[in-house]
Structures are given as structure tokens and as C-alpha cells.
């Protein structure tokens, strides 16, 4: 058991940690349990951390929603400029169809430096506005849905697909085809066997 004064001191420490996080990342909803527990694990055991966070939430010193902890006056705010950039970014990616611009060209087109551009892409991925296919390639979720629907149709008539067939099916370059297939493998939609792919969980996605 921890003394009340000690808990209050810890409460102030946690509030400071959250406040710093909110200032540094105003667009994020808050800190995850792992991030916050990481700051406390130097001083407390895992069990104590659990009890402390529960106590701080119960006494409204900090708030929790889903997997995020945050302070009461923090609202995940997106500045208007960032909102405009995000809208522009989603628009450019949508216009790219099945072959959207890769990161370097996308950021040039948007007039963003790499640091701001990467932050924006991370935010868009985090908030499920974009799907990160590879380090430099993002699609919007609707595009991925369409590609999966076409691939599903192909698998209904064929037992497997290779890169050349997929490339022709989607009318994309070899590099895009490989990136997409590797992403589908990673999500278990497809399973790679030597140089071909066979269906994985792709048919489970049908509503």
C-alpha cells in the first residue's frame, strides 16, 4: 500500500508526463498504457502501476478512454493547416487510383518537408484514413477494398496468382504489384508459396 501523500506526488508526476506528451503530440488522443507504465516502471512494480493508474482514474486526476490516458483539458485537436494538408493528401492519393504517388513525390506535390510529411502520414494511418502498404506507399482504405474485391474475383476462378498476373489484373507496375502482394501476405489475406500466392483470409472479408 502506498501513502496518500505519495500517491498525490505520483499523480502530479503522471499529470506532468501527460501534459508534456499532449504539448509534444497535440494531435494524439493521449498516452497508451504501455507508454505511461514505462515511465512508472522505473519506480514501481507492475502490480503497483496497475493500482496507481486505476486510483488516478477513479479519482479523476487523469482520464482514460479506450487504450488512451489523457488530462481533462486535452482534446485531440487538429490545427486547420494540418486538416487542409490531410484533405489534400487524401485527395492526391485517391486520384492516383491503384498506383498512388510514393512518399517523396507525394510530399513534393503537397509542398511539405519530410518531417511534417511523415508526421501527417503517420497521423492519417493512425486514424485509419490511410493504409500503410510499405515504407513509402500509402493507399486509402477504399482503394484496398477494391483491389481485394478484384483479387477475390480472380481467386474464385483460379487457385493461385503470380506477380505478373496480379500486375496485369490491377494494371499496375511490377513494383506496386510486389508491394501490394507483400502487404496482403503480411495481413494473411494471401499466402506466399514460392513464386505464387494462394488465398489466405481473403474470403473471410466478405460481408
Which CATH number does the domain housing residue 157 bear? 1.10.10.10
Region of 193 on the Ramachandran plot (φ > 0 left; ψ -120 to 50 alpha; else beta): beta
The predicted pLDDT at position 80 comes to 67
Residue that finishes a domain, picked among 104, 130, 156 = 130
Is 207 or 172 the better-scoring residue by pLDDT?
172
Residue 193 has pLDDT above 90, yes or no: yes
Q: Are residues 43 and 16 in the same domain?
A: yes
% of the chain residues with pLDDT over 70: 95
Cell of 118: 511523415
Cα separation, 157 vs 195, whole angstroms = 19
Q: Are residues 187 and 163 in the same domain?
A: yes
Asked if residue 167 belongs to a domain, the reply is: yes
Largest Cα separation within the chain, whole Å, is: 69
Q: Are residues 91 and 62 in the same domain?
A: no
Residue 177 has pLDDT above 60, yes or no: yes
Residues paired with 161 in a beta bridge: 197
Classify residue 101 by its DSSP letter: P
For 50, the domain range is: 4-70
Residue 207 has pLDDT above 50, yes or no: no
Distances (CA, A) of 4 to 8, 9, 30, 37, 45: 6, 9, 26, 20, 18
Q: Which of 2-11, 60-69, 196-205 has the lowest average pLDDT?
A: 2-11
Of 46, 21, 43, nearest in space to 31 by CA: 21
Domain count, the chain: 3
Cα separation, 102 vs 126, whole angstroms = 18
Residue 131 has pLDDT above 70, yes or no: yes
Q: Are residues 87 and 37 in the same domain?
A: no
Cα separation, 177 vs 168, whole angstroms = 9
Residue 199 has pLDDT above 90, yes or no: yes
How big is the CA angle at 135 (ends 129 and 141), to the nearest 5 degrees? 25
Q: Are residues 99 and 48 in the same domain?
A: no
Residue that finishes a domain, picked among 19, 49, 70 = 70
Mean pLDDT for 132-140 is 97
Is 76 or 98 the better-scoring residue by pLDDT?
98
Asked if residue 135 belongs to a domain, the reply is: no
Asked if residue 16 belongs to a domain, the reply is: yes
Mean pLDDT for 65-93 is 82
Q: Are residues 66 and 88 in the same domain?
A: no
Q: Are residues 10 and 57 in the same domain?
A: yes
pLDDT digits (tens, 9 = 90+) for 25-37: 887 888 999 999 9
Asked if residue 75 belongs to a domain, the reply is: no
Q: Are residues 169 and 150 in the same domain?
A: yes
Is 5 or 88 the better-scoring residue by pLDDT?
88
* Contact residues for 141 (Cβ-Cβ < 8 A; gap 6+): 128, 129, 130, 131
The predicted pLDDT at position 28 comes to 80
Asked if residue 65 belongs to a domain, the reply is: yes
pTM for this model (two decimals)? 0.64
pLDDT digits (tens, 9 = 90+) for 85-126: 999 999 999 999 999 999 999 999 999 999 889 989 998 998
Asked if residue 137 belongs to a domain, the reply is: no
The predicted pLDDT at position 2 comes to 60
Q: Are residues 147 and 190 in the same domain?
A: yes
Cell of 43: 519506480
Amino acid at each position: 500500500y502506498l501513502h496518500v501523500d505519495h500517491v498525490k506526488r505520483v499523480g502530479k508526476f503522471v499529470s506532468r508526463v501527460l501534459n508534456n506528451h499532449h504539448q509534444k503530440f497535440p494531435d494524439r488522443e493521449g498516452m497508451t498504457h504501455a507508454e505511461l507504465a514505462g515511465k512508472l516502471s522505473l519506480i514501481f512494480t507492475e502490480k503497483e502501476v496497475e493500482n496507481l493508474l486505476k486510483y488516478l482514474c477513479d479519482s479523476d486526476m487523469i482520464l482514460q478512454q479506450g487504450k488512451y490516458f489523457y488530462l481533462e483539458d486535452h482534446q485531440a485537436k487538429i490545427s486547420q493547416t494540418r486538416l487542409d494538408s490531410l484533405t489534400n493528401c487524401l485527395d492526391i492519393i485517391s486520384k492516383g487510383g491503384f498506383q498512388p504517388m510514393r512518399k517523396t513525390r507525394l510530399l513534393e506535390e503537397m509542398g511539405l518537408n519530410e518531417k511534417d510529411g511523415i508526421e501527417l502520414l503517420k497521423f492519417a494511418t493512425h486514424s485509419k484514413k490511410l493504409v500503410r502498404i510499405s515504407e513509402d506507399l500509402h493507399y486509402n482504405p477504399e482503394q484496398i477494398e477494391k483491389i481485394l474485391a478484384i483479387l477475390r474475383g480472380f481467386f474464385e476462378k483460379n487457385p493461385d496468382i503470380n506477380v505478373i498476373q496480379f500486375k496485369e489484373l490491377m494494371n499496375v507496375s511490377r513494383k506496386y504489384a510486389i508491394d501490394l502482394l507483400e502487404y496482403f501476405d503480411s495481413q494473411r489475406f494471401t499466402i506466399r508459396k514460392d513464386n505464387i500466392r494462394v488465398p489466405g483470409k481473403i474470403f473471410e472479408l466478405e460481408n
